[in-house]
């Protein structure tokens, strides 16, 4: 058994060590070698050697009562991950491998207080009437990317965000008051994405969805905008599929745990 | 070689895998298997198997150009580390194994804007005139723990912190103006710890030093306070040694990299 390697030539000791770290990371209390051996279905001596190695590497800490918790060396790696991983660069890399459908503009925005600041955009080959330049700020309540982010906050948090004043509507279809916005958000929370029809700019319909970080909190939002007259049930389905595919992929890349997402 | 285990029975594959993650975490650019093999002095096939395993576990990502960067699964562990590790609990655990010298009070404070909020304290068996209850807030410029934190900021940051007003001095020895504070901090920056003599409370001398987080930034500060008349060159040396021992140990525990500290 010990000497076997599976077809992909995975290294068993590394898989087991990562498995132990996963168990320690998710356990509700601190575990002993015996308990870890039971959880992993590995011999106690194997688990003991793995734990000793992980302690020596600073990846586990042995407590005085012989239980284990995660060690600080993990933070070096996660800080380096943060330095190496930039949501804008990942967004750009994803689009380099894809075609943008229809006359769409796909943009990436970061929430900042009650606004969305756009930091990247890609356009389809065709002409378009909606342009998103990096640095553009729009009030979150009136733009699909912003609504998608706001839908992740509670009504209490949204009220507090606009405690100093609600922004001036951009079109006659924008949610004109905080109460109207809260009703819109309640509706959005039933879906995985937002549809915003001419609330930000006349003649433009946009879909928006969030990119989650490793705490499953919104880090950014992706928006796909098309001329309103092109928008139909079929286009909507196609764009929503692209949007959710992109945002799920970005979320995973940023460390979100989409499989264990709460409600 | 492959079958050898050293006296401590460390698991070679796990050490090697961690070594690869360390190299990828600190490299200035993305590396290939060949480059990683050169850096680790391991056979290319060994490095290839380790990298494939790490990719499969989400600990590395293989880029289209066959170089590697760190993977998002690391964030699960570091988030769990943050949940499990609490500087106040670590502070308490350290003191359970130690005696507090002289008539000292040892306290742990967290910086919050221009103040220090004390969250834990331990006292020696003897009587004491200075008490620190959890929740106590003191202006950072007048208290050793605060001065230790402020000394890590630039003059520009300190000026900005007090842009809305400088706090009212607590004793006639407190630095009375922002200019006096900046002169005090310039002096403190030459040492590893702060000495604050009756600037916070008449009759009390305190030493302060910071606890660093995994980004080597101040997360908290530890302060040792003694009656001023007990303070002498010898007591100072003894207290400073205890203080630096405690803060270094807490910093390492919180993930600071004291060996590679800049400046």
Instruction: Specify whether the CB–CB gap between A45 and A53 falls below 8 A.
Output: no
Residue located via tokens 């079958």? B3
Q: Phi then psi for A200, rounded to 5 degrees? A: -110, -40
With bands split at pLDDT 50, 70 and 90, how would you rate the model's confidence at A96? confident
What is the domain count for chain A?
2
- Specify whether the CB–CB gap between A211 and A218 falls below 8 A: yes
Mean pLDDT of chain A: 90
pLDDT of residue A131: 79
Task: Clarify whether residues A107 and A63 are in a common domain.
Answer: no
* Domain shared by A187 and A212, yes or no: yes
Write the residue in A10, A21, A52 that is nearest to B53 by C-beta.
A10
Could you tell me if residue B97 is inside a domain?
A: yes
* Contact residues on chain B for A54, CB-CB shorter than 8 A: 14
- Which residues of chain A neighbour B43 with C-beta distances below 8 Å? none
Q: Do B168 and B74 share a structural domain?
A: no
* C-alpha–C-alpha distance, residues A110 and A119, integer Å: 7
Q: Do A73 and B9 lie within an 8 Å CB cutoff? A: no
Q: Are A107 and A220 in a shared domain? A: yes
Looking at the structure, tell me whether residues B226 and B199 fall in a common domain: yes
* Beta bridge partner(s), residue B75: none
Domain stops at, among A37, A61, A79? A79
Closest residue, chain A, to B214 (C-alpha) = A75
Q: Look at residue A73 and tell me if it is in a domain.
A: yes
Q: Do A253 and B73 touch (CB under 8 A)?
A: no
In a domain, A136, yes or no: yes
Task: For residues B258 and B89, give the distance between their C-alpha atoms in angstroms, rounded to a whole number.
Answer: 21
Of the residues B30, B47, B79, the one at which a domain ends: B79
Contact call for residues B70 and A81 (beta carbons, < 8 A):
yes
Could you give the count of Cα atoms lying within 13 Å of B111 in the half-sphere of its Cβ?
A: 27
The tens digit of pLDDT for each residue in B39-98 reads 999 999 999 999 999 999 999 999 888 999 999 999 989 989 988 888 988 898 888 778
> Looking at the domain assignment, is residue B58 inside a domain?
yes
Share of chain B above pLDDT 70, in %: 93
Residues B75, B106: one domain?
Answer: no
Q: Cβ A69–B85 below 8 Å, yes or no?
A: yes
The verdict on a CB contact (< 8 Å) between A14 and B9 is no
Q: What is the domain-level CATH number for residue B75? A: 1.10.10.10
Q: How far is CA A215 from the centre of its chain?
A: 9
Same domain? A72 vs A135: no
Q: Which of B14, B24, B56 sits opposite A50 (nearest CB)?
A: B14
Q: What's the CATH code of the domain at A120?
A: 3.30.450.40
Here the tokens at position A41 are: 């279905």
Partner-chain residue, chosen from A11, A255, A256, that has the shortest CB–CB distance to B50? A11
User: Furthest-apart CA pair in chain A: how many Å?
Assistant: 70
How far is the C-alpha of A2 from the C-alpha of B236, rounded, in Å?
A: 57
B63 shares a domain with B103: no
Residue whose pair of structure tokens reads 């407190």 in the numeric block: B174
- Say if residue A104 is in the same domain as residue A52: no
Residues 6+ apart with CB under 8 A from A97: none
Q: Is residue A124 domain-resident?
A: yes
Residue A196 has pLDDT above 50, yes or no: yes
Of A20, A54, A79, the one marking the end of a domain is A79
pLDDT at B94: 86
pLDDT digits (tens, 9 = 90+) for A236-261: 999 999 999 999 999 999 989 887 65
**Within a domain: A99:** yes
B45 and B145 housed in the same domain = no
Could you report the per-residue pLDDT of A21-35, keeping only the tens digit for each?
A: 999 999 989 999 999
Residue from A16, A79, A251 to probe the interface with B (highest B Cβ count within 10 Å): A79
Is A26 inside a domain boundary? yes
Q: Identify the pLDDT of residue B8.
A: 63
Give the tens place of pLDDT for each residue, B29-42: 999 999 999 999 99
Give the long-range contacts of residues A32-37, CB within 8 A, separation 24 or more. A32/A66, A32/A67, A32/A68, A33/A66, A36/A68
Q: Does residue A45 sit within a domain?
A: yes
At B127, is the pLDDT very low, low, confident or very high (cuts 50, 70, 90)?
low
CB contact under 8 A, A78 and B74: yes
**Whether residues A130 and A243 fall in one domain:** yes
Question: Does one domain contain both A163 and A184?
Answer: yes
Residue B20: give the domain boundaries.
12-79
């Amino acid at each position: 058994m010990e000497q076997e390697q599976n077809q992909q030539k995975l290294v068993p000791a590394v898989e087991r060590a990562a498995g132990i770290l996963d168990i320690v990371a998710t356990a509700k209390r601190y575990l002993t070698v015996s308990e870890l051996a039971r959880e992993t279905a590995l011999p106690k001596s194997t688990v003991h050697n793995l734990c000793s190695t992980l302690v020596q590497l600073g990846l586990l800490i042995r407590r005085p009562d012989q239980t284990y918790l995660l060690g600080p060396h993990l933070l070096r790696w996660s800080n380096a991950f943060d330095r190496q991983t930039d949501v804008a660069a990942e967004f750009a890399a994803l689009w380099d491998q894809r075609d943008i459908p229809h006359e769409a503009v796909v943009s990436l925005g970061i929430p900042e207080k009650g606004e969305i600041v756009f930091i990247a955009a890609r356009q389809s080959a065709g002409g378009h009437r909606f342009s998103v330049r990096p640095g553009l700020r729009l009030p979150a309540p009136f733009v699909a990317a912003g609504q998608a982010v706001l839908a992740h906050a509670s009504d209490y948090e949204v009220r507090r965000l606009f405690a100093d004043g609600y922004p001036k509507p951009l079109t006659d279809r924008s949610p004109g008051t905080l109460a109207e916005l809260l009703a819109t958000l309640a509706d959005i929370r039933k879906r995985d994405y937002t549809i915003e029809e001419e609330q930000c700019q006349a003649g433009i319909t946009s879909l928006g969805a969030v990119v989650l970080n490793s705490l499953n909190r919104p880090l950014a939002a992706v928006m796909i905008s098309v001329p309103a007259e092109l928008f139909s049930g079929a286009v909507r389905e196609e764009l929503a599929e692209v949007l959710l595919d992109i945002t799920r992929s970005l979320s995973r890349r940023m460390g979100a745990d989409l499989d264990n997402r709460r409600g």
